[in-house]
Structure 1
Amino acid sequence: MEVTEEAREDGISIVPSSSLTVDVSLPLSQIKPRIIDLCRSLFKEWSCLEDSRFSVETVSGGITNLLLKVSVKEDNGNDVLLTVRLFGPNTEYVIDRKRELQAIRHLSAAGFGAELLGVFGNGMVQSFINARTLSPSDMSKPKLAAEIARQLRKFHEVEIPGSREPELWNDIFKFLERASALKFDDSEKQRKYETVSFREVYDAVAELKDLTELLDAPVVFAHNDLLSGNLMLNDDEEKLYLIDFEYGSYNYRGYDIANHFNEYAGFDCDYNLYPDKDAQYHFFRHYFQPDKPHKVRDEDLEALYVETNSFMLASHLYWALWALIQAKVSPIDFDYLDYFFLRYNEYRRRKETCFLIARTYLTNS
């Protein structure tokens, strides 16, 4: 399959687009003909292919998206594999899709994630990555941790057009405003929701913002959601892929790393799996100097350690508030209210130690 370049923007190919939408709530049997129509609409060379040339299967149904694997048998006998990503309903409340689409064009051009092939009303079409998704326990393995650090450093060096102001606190305060004005029809959900002290949460956010600003952390284009499900590995080629950039934005370097470390907790949210200092230093060394990790200066390691573990608290606050909004708008059967309390309580459990480390460092530096 060839994608015709209709124009170029900042050196980036403009991919085919369609206004078609696909209802993500439909069963696969009803989604399949809509996906076939979508492919014919986007890619002119497939416009006359019979339905039998297309195969559509579910790859995964995550918290915000539905991923489909599409196989197309072309007239020349070639089989082309695609991934179709359908955005979940109401995800615009927590994801800036315009920001995502702008970023993904440049990240794809820089070699990150799957190649962007087309966009449509509520999703995108990308090349298929022949690799396995990592498990949470994979991320802490020293060899893989080193490779993730190397790839993340390269990711942070990609330049995305537009404002380079960090989005973290804007997003958190936006989430806080939305989260504090919810009303649940379910009486038990409403009762649990009313136990949240938004004055306390606001004070926590403001205090942490003031502390992290003293660290003068570098601002990079960050992934912001580097959990195991967004890391893929081709074992034969030993090639690692960073995928799914829907939360990507300019942000603080330490936040992106800390958010990744929080994901060591895995699906059971066991935050005792958060990496210790030695494991963090191993990651930092390969982030700073992949070719000479043992040449990294001690002061650089210490500075990034303090930075990362201060922003670790911000990661908990971000996803706690995100969860409150999802509890209201998401159709997915998941206890988002409990997830709020899980993340917020972890913030409170870690706060004293992290603040002490940061304040001691700032006093001595």
Structure 2
Amino acid sequence: MGDVQKRVPHVRVVVDENDVERGAMRILEQIRPRWEKDSVEFKLLTDGITNKLVGCRPAEAEESETVLVRIYGNKTDLLIDRKAETRNFILLNKVDLAPDLYATFDNGLAYRFIPGNTLDQETVRDPHIYRLVAKRMAKLHKVKVKGEEHPQPFLWDKMSSFLELVPDVFSDSKKNERYRECIMSKAQIEGELRELRNALKNSDSPVVFAHNDLLLGNVIYTQSEDSVTFIDFEYAAFSYQAYDIGNHFAEFVGIGTDLDYSLYPDKELQTDWIRTYLAEYHGREPKEEEVEKLYVQANQFVLAAHLFWGIWALIQAEHSYIDFDYMEYADLRLREYFAKKSVCALFNGSS
């Protein structure tokens, strides 16, 4: 399996975002040449707010035969190292933590469909399911990468590079007006980033190989196998353990701009999740002080998650062709950043 996955073919095709079926068929002609062209069914999947995703399979075929073709969003190469993403996909597939990667193409990937349902605001709170997620994340965090004995977290440099990509003036006048009215300036964001980095610089949270984007749509629960699978490794990289966990907790509130922050998990849920995670991560039952420490760290690093995705959304607001209100999303994430900051002991000594 490992040798096969090292030879992932590259198809020299650019798939037009506005004509995904024609482009996807050109990919399939290379990786599924026996499929009858006229029998292939396409289903556009719309959960993503970065890329377009289409499922492809012959009519009457089993669901497990579906190939997913993911087309990168416009200018997302500014945000994501696509070669690193492919390496991560192959690495994690070898340890059974990612689906099979069938091919890359000039602006996307084709990979195996995992039957099941993505999580939603209810299923992510189901104790049975969230414990599966906690165990899966712990397994991911234990993955070792050859040549990376002392890895550095991607977080601060990535956020700084993102901030440089935020335009001073948005090309769309209406977006620019909304930015001026609702969002703090780049200089203010830079100040917040500097302050947050200084506040967290002494954290002893371990640096692990992390997903870094475990939103609800990136977790699939397969009931028939009673298992969860993570997908979309665009931001997979070495990061703080507590960041990956805190970032996931922030996603309990929903997808897109339909966010309900009253659904942010309470301490009882978080500590149960963390206790399950640590038992898998360490291979033993954790001490209560270990659970409490990681709980505190995760809720500190959730500030970094809100700031990260707020900056990300401002870049997308300028470049993405996807029909999504990125400016509204940036506003929501940055408002929640300040709400969390106002009660964070790092900044005001409160509990």
The alignment's TM-score, normalised by the length of structure 2, stands at 0.89
Q: 1:240 aligns with which of 228, 232, 242?
A: 228
Identify which of structures 1 and 2 has the higher relative contact order when contacts are C-alpha pairs closer than 8 Å and 6+ apart.
Answer: 2
CA contact (8 A) 1:285 1:293 kept: no
Q: What SS does the corresponding residue of 2:205 show, helix, strand or coil?
A: coil
CA contact (8 A) 2:246 2:301 kept: yes
1:162 offset after TM fit, Å? 5.9
Q: 1:147 aligns with which of 113, 132, 140?
A: 132
Matches within 5 A, 1:193-232: 193-195=179-181, 196-232=184-220
CA contact (8 A) 1:220 1:251 kept: yes
Match of 1:328 in 2: 318
| 1:37 maps to 2:26 | yes
How far apart, in 1, do the equivalents of 2:6 and 2:77 lie? 25
* Distance of aligned partners of 1:358 and 1:309 in 2 relative to their CA distance in 1, 3 Å threshold: farther
Q: 2:13 aligns with which of 13, 20, 24?
A: 20
2:52 partner amino acid: L
How far apart, in 1, do the equivalents of 2:26 and 2:323 lie? 30
* Distance of aligned partners of 1:251 and 1:288 in 2 relative to their CA distance in 1, 3 Å threshold: same
How far apart, in 2, do the equivalents of 1:291 and 1:87 lie? 33
* Distance of aligned partners of 1:188 and 1:80 in 2 relative to their CA distance in 1, 3 Å threshold: closer
1:297 offset after TM fit, Å? 0.6
From the CA coordinates, give the structure whose radius of gyration is larger.
Answer: 1
| 1:88 maps to 2:81 | no
1:232 offset after TM fit, Å? 0.7
How far apart, in 2, do the equivalents of 1:318 and 1:166 lie? 14
How far apart, in 2, do the equivalents of 1:151 and 1:132 lie? 16
| 1:169 maps to 2:156 | yes
Matches within 5 A, 1:172-187: 172-179=159-166, 181-187=167-173
Q: What SS does the corresponding residue of 1:240 show, helix, strand or coil?
A: strand
How far apart, in 2, do the equivalents of 1:60 and 1:113 lie? 21
**Residue deviations 1:224-280, cap 9 Å, x none?**
111110111111221111111111111111010001000111132111211111111
CA contact (8 A) 2:73 2:322 kept: no
Q: 2:144 aligns with which of 152, 159, 166?
A: 159
Matches within 5 A, 1:69-88: 69-72=55-58, 80-88=65-73
Which ranges of structure 2 fall in alignment gaps of 5 or more residues? none
* Distance of aligned partners of 1:296 and 1:192 in 2 relative to their CA distance in 1, 3 Å threshold: same
**Residue deviations 1:288-340, cap 9 Å, x none?**
11499993212211210121011010001001101111110111222222222
Match of 1:109 in 2: 94
CA contact (8 A) 1:107 1:113 kept: yes
Greater than 4 Å deviation, 4+ residue runs: 290-294, 356-361
The alignment's TM-score, normalised by the length of structure 1, stands at 0.86
How far apart, in 1, do the equivalents of 2:323 and 2:22 lie? 26
2:319 partner amino acid: V
RMSD (CA atoms) = 2.8
* Distance of aligned partners of 1:111 and 1:309 in 2 relative to their CA distance in 1, 3 Å threshold: same
Q: What SS does the corresponding residue of 1:224 show, helix, strand or coil?
A: coil
Between stretches 34-43 and 163-172, larger displacement belongs to: 34-43
Match of 1:350 in 2: 340
* Distance of aligned partners of 1:292 and 1:202 in 2 relative to their CA distance in 1, 3 Å threshold: closer
Q: May I ask how many residue pairs the two structures share in their alignment?
A: 344
CA contact (8 A) 1:285 1:294 kept: no
* Distance of aligned partners of 1:189 and 1:110 in 2 relative to their CA distance in 1, 3 Å threshold: same
Between stretches 146-155 and 127-136, larger displacement belongs to: 127-136
